[in-house]
Amino acid sequence: MSIHLFVDEIRNSESLLAGSLPEFLFMRITQFANRSISCWVLLVCFVSLLSQPLMSQESTSKEPPASASETPSSAQEDQSAEDGGKGEVAVKTETEPPPESPKSDDTEKSPKTNERQEKGTSSKGQPDKKGDTKAKQEATVDQNAKEPSQTEARLNAIEDKLDKLTKVLAALVEDKGKSAGPTKKPDAATEPKKEDPAGKPTDSTRPQKKKAPEPITYTMKSHSLKAMKWRSLGPANMSGRVTDLEVSSKDKSTWWIATGGGGLLKTTNKGTTVEHQFDHETAVSIGAIASSASNPQVLWVGTGEVNPRNSVSYGNGVYKSTDGGKTFEHKGLEGTYQIGRILVHPRNPDVVYVGAQGRLYGTNEDRGVYKTSDSGKTWEKVFYLDERTGVIDMIMHPKDPDTLIVAMWDRLRDEFDSWPGKVPKPDGIDGYDPVRKWGPKAGLYKTTDGGKNWAKLSKGLPKGMTGRIGLDWQSKSPHTIYAIIDCEDIGKGPKPFACYLGLVGSDENNAAKVTQVMPDSPADKAGIRVNDKLLSADGQKLYRFDELLAVLRKKEAGERIQLTLQRGKKEIAMSPKLAARPGA
């Protein structure tokens, strides 16, 4: 509310006549004060206003009527308004003009008559009592009109004080505005909502979705990781099995996580948060997942985990997504039960290999390696051994996508734990293993023409039957392959020695060095000493001490072994007679 209305309210308020002006001013100033001005400033100005007497009764009664020169002219009002435009608030006071005295018809008709009435004479030149009394009344009215009343004088003084107070407050507002800087736009939360003429909410009134926080990417140095130790984050009881993990080739923050019984999870912030996918399909057990390197939005899911647990669930084939896992389409292979591995061609996403493990609780022919060249419309079984042996793992050459190595596994589970109670278990058997976990056809097989021809790998691998195998191909060194192999010889160890020589040694500079000679042993009796270097055994050159042990495992007690050793710069040949192993 402006100062004009404030002054008018003071004029019209009857409370002024009751002597309550200070309380009235305090109430109205605090009400009309600008909220941007501190309250203490208002109070100080108000106290300053009241500390000066508005006008004493004596000065009011003796003060002569205000002359025309004391009344602010219109030019002064204009100048005040102009000053207010320069940062001050212009206060415009409008005093009501005094009421005009009523004029008689005779006065309007004759100026001479008016002149005689002002002199108090009649038209005949004699004194007129009635005219004299009327002239006195008119003079009194004129005098009252020119002389301001006590209330009017107090109002004029208040207006002067308010004018000064307004200028002070305006200056404070201007200073605060400069220090506060540019005005901020209102928040969407505080801005009044707008509606279109039809009453429907507009874009500005609809609730806006909050943007997800951007993930923070930080590359840790290798020395920082050395001080870190892995720890379990839970759940405290058990969390179920994670069967596969796929990282996007384009965004290392995006992973897909396959579970044995909980479906598919996806994270886009390196595991900070995850979302469930694959919730609308008919299978929840997942064995393998794979994304396309050329198009990361293409994702393949093979259902049915391959871990041969007593709580394992089976699947119903493979599914494909073209939108990063939001939706899936079933692509067949329903009878495979469990999927061991999926590989996608790095340059052609339509070419996919699926390694099927097959049924866990029985035999079936839906096993082996399946290939599609039309993105799952049709499938061809490109590798198959028998109805018992399926694919547990499969890798692709990092430079040549037509070269694959497949790990085949022969396993079977029944409705019971394999070896319950006190039944003696063979070497390498766990009580919860499948009833069959090794097979004659199991092992590693390789193709170099995209699955047309296959060959079994055997060099450097276990000679007996093999079981489960895990594979990895080193991407930076295509000639290096890692394999973890379970076989029937697991836990048995090497063949024990049947003879005894009595030496302890180590490897040094491509030679087997003697570090200890047992007292009264065949080596001690033959004259072998500490620090001698063994060059050969039975004609076989020795580079490591374990090579001597391999020769000794073939010997029997009572036989001799031909040794060549170096002592200083001299070579010495000897043939100690082997004794029976102590305690054997």
Q: What is the mean pLDDT of residues 421-448?
A: 84
Q: Which amino acid is at 160?
A: D
Per-residue pLDDT tens digits for 217-270? 777 777 777 777 877 766 566 667 899 999 998 899 999 999 998 899 999 998
Residues 65, 118, single domain; the answer is no
Q: Coil, strand or helix: which one is 566? A: strand
- Angle between helix 21-32 and 3-12 (nearest 10): 150
Domain check: are 458 and 470 in the same one? yes
> Under a CB-based contact definition with an 8 Å cutoff, are residues 512 and 543 in contact?
yes
Return the beta strands (E) in 219-364 as ranges: 242-247, 255-259, 264-267, 275-277, 286-291, 299-303, 318-321, 329-330, 339-344, 352-356
* Pair 393, 244 in one domain: yes
Tell me what pLDDT residue 199 has: 54
- The pLDDT score that the predictor gives to residue 545 is 93
The CB density around residue 505, as the number of other CB atoms within 10 Å, is: 22
Domain with 435 in it: what CATH number?
Answer: 2.130.10.10
Same domain assignment for residues 505 and 481: no
Last residue within a domain, chosen from 162, 180, 198: 180
pLDDT in tens, 466-480: 999 999 999 888 889
In a domain, 71, yes or no: yes
Q: What is the DSSP secondary structure assignment for residue 334, as one 8-state letter? A: G
Measured in degrees and rounded to the nearest 5, phi and psi for residue 209 equal: -75, 135
338, 263: one domain: yes
- Domain annotation covers residue 208: no
CATH, residue 572: 2.30.42.10
pLDDT tens-digit profile of 287-317?
A: 999 999 999 899 999 999 999 887 788 999 9
Is residue 274 pLDDT above 80, yes or no? yes
364 and 377 fall within a common domain: yes
Structure tokens at 229: 């130790």
Asked if residue 404 and residue 270 are part of one domain, the reply reads yes
Question: Would 222 be classed as within a structural domain?
Answer: no
Q: What is the mean pLDDT of residues 180-205?
A: 51
Domain membership of residue 225 (yes or no) is no
Bridge partner list, 439:
466
Name the phi and psi angles at 563, rounded to 5.
Answer: -120, 145
User: What does the pLDDT read at residue 210?
Assistant: 67
Strand, coil or helix: 455: strand
Residues 296, 405, single domain; the answer is: yes
How confident is the model at residue 219, as a pLDDT?
Answer: 77
Q: CA-to-CA distance for 105 and 375, rounded, in angstroms?
A: 115
212 lies in a domain? no
* Shared domain check, 571 and 529: yes
Residue 220 covered by a domain: no
Residue-averaged pLDDT of the chain: 76
What's the confidence (pLDDT) of residue 3?
46
Say if residue 497's pLDDT is above 80.
yes
Angle at 140 between CA 135 and CA 145, to 5 degrees: 125
**Is residue 356 helix, strand or coil?**
strand
Mean pLDDT of 120-128: 46
Q: Kindly state whether residues 333 and 473 are assigned to the same domain.
A: yes
- Shared domain for 156 and 133, answered yes or no, is no
Q: What's the pLDDT score for residue 176?
A: 56
Residue 213 maps to a domain: no
The C-alpha atoms of residue 237 and residue 308 are separated, in whole angstroms, by 21
Q: Examine residue 193 and state whether it is found in any structural domain, yes or no.
A: no
210-216 average pLDDT score: 71
Give the 3-state secondary structure of residue 314: coil
Domain extent at residue 410 = 240-487
Percent of the chain topping pLDDT 70: 65
> What φ, ψ does residue 60 adopt, rounded to 5°?
-70, -40
pLDDT of residue 206: 60
Q: How many domains does the chain have?
A: 4
Residue 35 has pLDDT above 50, yes or no: no
Position 120 scores a pLDDT of 45
| Same domain, yes or no: 276 and 415 | yes
Q: How far apart are CA 367 and CA 383, in angstroms?
A: 9
